[in-house]
Amino acid sequence: MNIEALRSRIGDFLAAHDPARTERLEFLRARYDAGLAWVAFPEGHGGLGLPQAWQLETDALFAAAGAPDNQPERNGIGLGMAAPTILAFGTEEQKRRFLRPLWTGEEIWCQLFSEPGAGSDLAALATRAVPDGSDWVVNGQKVWTSSGHLARFAILVARTDPDVPKHRGMTYFLCDMTDPGVDVRPLRQITGEAEFNEVFLSEVRIPDSQRLGEVGQGWQVATATLNNERVAIGAHAAPREGGMAGVVARTWREHPEGRTPERHDRLLRLWVEAEVARLTGERLRQKLAQGQPGPEGAAMKLSFARLNQQLSGLELEVLGEQGLRYSDWTMVRPDRVDFTGRDAGYRYLRAKGNSIEGGTSEILRNIVAERVLGLPAEPRVDKDVPWKDGAK
């Protein structure tokens, strides 16, 4: 199929499903079934096996027709992390069960990876999963769980074998957040909100049919998820002068009283860097269409975090006293992160988390150094030590 055939197919679909007359969920389900959800995904799973680069035009054509979207800002973990991981490692039954309601937004997803004692070192996690008949019984605690208060399902990594080195004793699961024993508690952040959560797992039973990948393959599956996460955060599609660069450029135009030659130079430099990052992200997404994401996503996420923090700081300087205002400190549990629709104070505070979420900047620098630049790896004294001995 060429791009013209895709455009024709979208036109035929819209003629048969008038967005103005079709109920939203019915429309989204039909779009998925027609292979026009993730066009790069295989047929039968929301796609047509087409180049990933054609997704932007597909979405643009639907938007121009006034079609409803799947509210991706509410389900970033599901769309950017869980879906490609399920596609790569899931059984056909798992793909049929989870991908469609994930894409339509009927089921929100969260991520149960980080732990209080194993944040940057994910492989040191201590949450245990013990087999019991056809189930696994899970006990432990997870932290920094975005959207845990909204999620129906979670991607979960737990330790299933403490007698082998830490990277080899983990297994990956799909956890139903409504099951008994799952306790989600809010974590209030510097913004005043509780976008993150901590999750306690007490005797949670997960059927073996919700294991993703082989037993003991959890590190390999989780690595694929993390690579997808970094791409989703750092290399998301954006128009020219989109994201924080666009917000700060607009603030600059609207507030001449905050301009100085030094700030002008900084704005130009950051605008150029943001544009370079955007174009690099375009190339990376085209590369992803050829296979699994690699360590390049770490570099994109590093750049995203740095630019967001520097741009949001510059915006506050341009605004002067106005930048010190903070509209609402009420403790709420939001359903999305909204950088562009909030005030400058929120953007400045929330950007501080960009260098932590999706892998800390320090860890990502190690990944880039070792896996992209080929520099010597840091010494790892516990690499070949059984987890139960290294954890003492």
Nearest to residue 201, comparing CAs of 94, 305, 109, 129?
129
Q: What is the mean pLDDT of residues 260-267?
A: 97
Average pLDDT value for the chain: 90
6 and 36 in contact (C-beta within 8 Å)? Answer: no
Check residues 343 and 24 and name the one with the higher pLDDT: 24
Span 116-132, pLDDT tens digits: 988 778 899 999 999 99
High-pLDDT (> 90) share of the chain, %: 67
138 and 204 in contact (C-beta within 8 Å)? Answer: yes
Span 185-210, pLDDT tens digits: 999 999 999 989 999 999 999 999 99
Q: What is the pLDDT of residue 302?
A: 87
Nearest to residue 50, comparing CAs of 109, 2, 120, 112?
2
Q: What is the mean pLDDT of residues 60-71?
A: 96
pLDDT band at 83 (very low <50, low <70, confident <90, very high): very high
Task: Count Cβ atoms within 10 A of the Cβ of residue 281 and give its class: 0-12 exposed, 13-18 middle, 19 or more buried.
Answer: buried
Q: What is the pLDDT of residue 231?
A: 63
pLDDT band at 77 (very low <50, low <70, confident <90, very high): very high
Q: What is the mean pLDDT of residues 67-96?
A: 94
Q: Which of 3-12, 47-56, 230-239, 272-281 has the lowest mean pLDDT?
A: 230-239
Q: What is the pLDDT of residue 237?
A: 59
73 and 150 in contact (C-beta within 8 Å)? Answer: no
Residue 134's alpha-carbon distances to 97, 130, 137, 206, 208, in angstroms, are: 19, 11, 10, 9, 6
Q: What span, in angstroms and rounded, lies between the C-alpha atoms of 57 and 180? A: 43
Residues near 268 by beta carbon (within 8 Å), at least 6 away in sequence: none
Q: How would DSSP label each residue in 232-282?
A: HHHS----TT-HHHHHHHHHHHH-GGG--HHHHHHHHHHHHHHHHHHHHHH
At residue 93, does pLDDT exceed 90? yes
Q: What is the pLDDT of residue 238?
A: 66
Q: What is the pLDDT of residue 106?
A: 97
pLDDT band at 340 (very low <50, low <70, confident <90, very high): confident
Q: What is the mean pLDDT of residues 37-59?
A: 92
Catalytic residue among 107, 193, 229, 315: 229
Q: Map out the domains of the chain with their CATH numbers.
A: 3-104 (1.10.540), 109-215 (2.40.110.10), 222-372 (1.20.140.10)
Q: Global pTM?
A: 0.87
What is residue 354's DSSP assignment?
A: G
| Catalytic status, residue 296 | no
- Overall residue count recorded for the chain in this entry: 392
Q: Which two tokens stand for residue 138?
A: 């899970």
Span 198-250, pLDDT tens digits: 999 999 999 999 999 999 999 999 988 887 766 666 445 566 777 899 999 99
